[in-house]
């Protein structure tokens, strides 16, 4: 199991109509800066429910006409960063407002991540448009939590909000703290990081030994997941609050647009994310849902070989051992302000946006452009997970098996000496895979180059002896030299496969069909002689909840619920669908 699992920090949101109060003006930049800017670092904004938000406002001196406003709304309060962000926006021709989440910096209120952005962001916008320096047009931008905040604002879209530019935007409940209904440990410390004080608690967040020890002790103990904070030794109220909502229920749905609410979002949007962004499934969910409910939406996507932090910068020369194509390196912030100029000032659209979907083909060193996700590919490979052996693996075949067959897998959920499901792409290229558990399916070599372009999905058919299981599916390119290039992966709970808002338990001893689709989008040029490999496994490790399959709430199950090993019979008509261009 890859012990370097690292996930992106969470993002959060809700919104409010507001009345604002402006307080002291404290220039905090060097003297030469003070001659250029008007800086208000202690602005207080009142929301309609009586809360107080703090913000930094910066303007260029000597400009007397009202201007459009670039708004960044974030939880990682840091005055120096706020001033740096503001200066960049001002130098690009905007009034800058950098607002803090409720409870942060100068706000006296409690910090409740996710729960107030849908109203609080609009409280800030209400305040902005009443100021004499505002021309009534606001554009938002920013990554991770700030990306989430932008989408939260669109749930009750303010008429002054003209565009959003979310990078690696998170969706609470769909990406973190749980992914496809599985609670993850990677961001356990995040709740302390953002709530311990009015700024951020770097000491706690960076205490990797503490968090690794906690995960190991919890895993070895077999304790219930809702007891993990007692093993750490400090209560985690936010985690306990979240664990009360294992379904994607109204608690989570109220934080961002949900289903038909996307139809009302009629402003231009530019989404930026990466193939190896841990929260990519969130960014892509927004993109897909917006276009599903509003097919004519002016929504553009930029995606390439970036991780969560790299996408916010524009990439790096090397990513987790993979040498990134030179053309993939972009400047996210420059593109952002060119986009804001395009929407708010009638400027030229950024050159990279040749079509709605703009993606870098790894290995080909080129950008391609498509009118939709579906048009990224011109063929879909439907490959069956057969029971036919091909060397040490099973055959991943384009032909459906004529005769029904099955592959048996047994997982001892009480075993704490081993981990199952090595899915995290760190490094991206490997010489060997851990073959101590899981099922490996490999295709025949391609006789010509082909690009994997898009999101892979599939349908697993299985009979088990329990009521539930957590599944991992990993997609690799097996290169001609025998090395493995990780393309994408899926992690999800079988009982939520058809509806993430309602748990539907499996029936022991009865064949079940389990669809999956929320994988990671990727584009990669495969060479002649490359093959595809699918690794199918059950998730059991110290990075996430362990689903013992009793049908009880998973966070309450313990190792005592693992008396009988999980036994699975995978049907040989299970399949994956992989979009390709050839």
Q: What is the pLDDT of residues 425-453, one digit of tens each?
A: 999 999 999 999 999 999 999 999 999 99
- Residue 33 pLDDT greater than 60, yes or no: no
DSSP type of residue 101: P
Cβ 40 vs Cβ 79: under 8 Å: no
277 touches 306 (CB < 8 A): yes
- Higher-scoring residue by pLDDT: 227, 19: 227
Share of the chain above pLDDT 70, in %: 94
d(CA 288, CA 168): 14
Instruction: Give the separation between CA 535 and CA 442, rounded to whole angstroms.
Output: 9
Distance of CA 44 to the CA centre of its chain: 31
Q: Tell me how far apart the alpha carbons of residues 377 and 523 are, in angstroms, rounded to a whole number.
A: 10
What does the pLDDT read at residue 4?
45
120-149 mean pLDDT: 98
Q: With 60 as the cut, is the pLDDT of residue 531 above it?
A: yes
The answer to pTM > 0.85 is: yes
What is the reported pLDDT for 35? 83
pLDDT at 14 over 90: no
- Other CB atoms within a 10 A radius of the CB of residue 550 amount to 17
List every span in the chain annotated with CATH 2.60.120.260.
Answer: 379-581
Of residues 306 and 16, the one with the higher pLDDT is 306
Domain 379-581 has CATH 3.30.450.20: no
Instruction: Give the integer Cα–Cα distance in Å for 532 and 446.
Output: 9
> Under 8 Å CB-to-CB from 508, ≥6 apart: which residues?
464, 465, 466, 467
* Residue 180 scores a pLDDT above 60: yes
Is the confidence at residue 100, as pLDDT, over 90? Answer: yes
Phi and psi at 389, nearest 5°, equal -75, 140
Band of the pLDDT at 25, cuts 50, 70, 90?
Answer: very low
Average pLDDT over residues 563-582: 97
pLDDT at 241 over 80: yes
Supply the pLDDT for residue 10: 33
Judge whether 548 and 557 are in contact, CB under 8 Å.
Answer: yes
Across the range 293-322, mean pLDDT stands at 98
CA atoms of 235 and 215, how far apart (whole Å):
15
Stretch among 12-21, 74-83, 358-367, 452-461 having the lowest mean pLDDT:
12-21
CA distance 452 to 367: 14
pLDDT band at 554 (very low <50, low <70, confident <90, very high): very high
Say if strands 457-464 and 470-478 run parallel, antiparallel, or are unpaired: unpaired
pLDDT confidence bin for 107, thresholds 50/70/90 = very high
Tell me what pLDDT residue 34 has.
64
Question: Under a CB-based contact definition with an 8 Å cutoff, are residues 276 and 8 in contact?
Answer: no
- Write the pLDDT tens digit of every residue in 271-293: 999 999 999 999 999 999 999 99
Spatial neighbors of 406 by CB under 8 A, at least 6 apart, are 387, 463, 569, 570, 571, 572
Q: Is the pLDDT of residue 553 over 50?
A: yes
Q: Are 265 and 290 in contact (CB under 8 A)?
A: yes
Q: Binning pLDDT at 50, 70 and 90, where does residue 561 land?
A: very high
Region 367-385: mean pLDDT is: 98
Q: Where in the chain is the domain with CATH 3.40.50.1820?
A: 14-172+255-275
- Give the architecture (CATH level 2) of 14-172+255-275: 3-Layer(aba) Sandwich (3.40)
Query: pLDDT at residue 8 above 50?
Result: no
């Amino acid at each position: 199991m890859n012990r370097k699992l690292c996930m992106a920090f969470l993002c959060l949101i809700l919104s409010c109509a507001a009345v604002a109060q402006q307080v002291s003006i404290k220039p905090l930049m060097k003297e030469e800066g003070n001659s250029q800017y008007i800086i208000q670092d202690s602005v207080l904004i009142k929301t309609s429910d009586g809360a107080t938000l703090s913000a930094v406002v910066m303007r260029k001196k000597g400009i007397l006409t009202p201007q459009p406003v670039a708004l960044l709304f974030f939880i990682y309060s840091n005055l120096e960063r706020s001033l740096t962000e503001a200066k960049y926006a001002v130098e690009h021709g905007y009034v800058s407002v950098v607002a803090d989440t409720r409870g942060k910096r100068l706000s006296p209120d409690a910090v409740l991540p996710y729960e107030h952005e849908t109203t609080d962001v609009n409280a800030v916008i209400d305040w902005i448009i009443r100021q004499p320096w505002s021309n009534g047009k606001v554009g938002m931008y920013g990554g991770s939590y700030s990306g989430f905040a932008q989408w939260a604002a669109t749930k009750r879209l303010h008429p002054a909000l003209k565009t959003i530019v979310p990078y690696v935007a998170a969706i609470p409940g769909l990406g973190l703290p749980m992914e496809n209904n599985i609670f993850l440990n990677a961001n356990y410390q995040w709740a302390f990081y953002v709530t311990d004080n009015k700024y951020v608690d770097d000491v706690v967040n960076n205490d990797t030994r503490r968090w690794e020890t906690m995960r190991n002790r919890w895993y070895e103990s077999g304790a219930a997941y809702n007891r993990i904070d007692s093993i750490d030794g400090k209560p985690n109220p936010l985690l306990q609050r979240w664990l009360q909502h294992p379904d994607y229920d109204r608690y989570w749905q109220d934080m961002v647009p949900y289903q038909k609410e996307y139809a009302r979002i009629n402003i231009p949007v530019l989404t930026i994310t990466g193939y190896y962004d841990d929260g990519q499934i969130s960014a892509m969910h927004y993109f897909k849902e917006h276009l599903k409910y509003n097919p004519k939406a002016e929504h553009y996507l930029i995606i390439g070989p970036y991780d969560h932090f790299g996408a916010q910068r524009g990439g790096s020369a090397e990513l987790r051992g993979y040498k990134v194509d030179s053309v993939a390196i972009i400047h996210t912030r420059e593109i952002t302000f060119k986009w804001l100029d395009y929407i708010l000032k009638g400027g030229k659209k950024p050159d990279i946006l040749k079509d709605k979907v703009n993606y870098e083909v790894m290995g080909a060193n080129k950008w391609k452009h498509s009118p939709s996700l579906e048009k990224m590919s011109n063929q879909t490979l439907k490959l069956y997970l057969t029971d036919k052996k091909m060397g040490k693996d099973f055959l991943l075949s384009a032909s459906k098996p004529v005769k029904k067959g099955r592959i048996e897998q047994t997982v001892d959920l009480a075993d704490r000496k081993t981990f199952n499901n090595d899915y995290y792409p760190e490094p991206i290229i490997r010489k060997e895979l851990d073959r101590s558990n899981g099922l490996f399916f490999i295709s025949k070599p391609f006789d010509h180059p082909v690009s994997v372009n898009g999101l892979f999905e599939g349908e697993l058919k299985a009979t088990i002896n329990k009521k539930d299981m957590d599944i991992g599916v990993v997609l690799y390119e097996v290169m001609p030299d025998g090395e493995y290039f990780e393309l994408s992966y899926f992690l999800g709970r079988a009982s939520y496969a058809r509806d993430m808002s309602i748990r539907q338990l499996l029936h022991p001893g009865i064949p079940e069909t389990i669809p999956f689709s929320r994988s990671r989008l990727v584009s990669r040029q495969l060479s002649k002689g490359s093959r595809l490999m699918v690794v199918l496994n059950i998730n059991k490790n110290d990075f996430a909840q362990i689903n013992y399959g009793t049908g009880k709430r998973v966070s309450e199950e313990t190792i005592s619920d693992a008396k009988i090993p999980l036994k699975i019979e995978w049907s040989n008509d299970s399949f994956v669908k992989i979009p390709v261009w050839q």
